[in-house]
Copies of this chain bind each other. A is one copy, B any other.
């Protein structure tokens, strides 16, 4: 996975934490308030053994927190940490894209501004504030090795 020639990138790092199967669906449920194991298993449709593994790794990664909510009998629930809540834009971006390009029919969910119009996530330039097309951007590697995407690397 961590091949020496592979691009070093926070997208890949993020996916290493939440990119496995079911992880983002688990996050979706937890952010919706479905905190208990059985509820998560039912709502995601994932098998219980994998979900148990995912929940464990997400807790270890600091994305979720496992909390005892009943002493007798012992019962646990999963809460989002700050890092977990910070994944909301990722889920929102996926939802918007799925609404538009995958889901048949009208978007089941709409994100709207307080003025009533629809909201969308967009990549904007920090300086111009303008929306950015795909050809107008590039990844720049900091810290010595500048690996521009347009030129051939080595």
Contact = CB atoms under 8 A, between A and B. Distances in A.
A74 interface: no
Contact of A123 (B8, B106, B120): B120
Nearest to A4: B45
Nearest to A117: B127
Contacts of A52: none
The majority secondary structure among interface residues of chain A is mixed
Interface in A1-59: 1-3, 5-17, 19, 21, 24-25, 28-29, 31-34, 42-45
A112 interface: yes
A113 B137 contact: yes
Interface of A: 1-3, 5-17, 19, 21, 24-25, 28-29, 31-34, 42-45, 62-63, 80, 83-103, 106-129, 131-143, 147, 149-150, 152-154
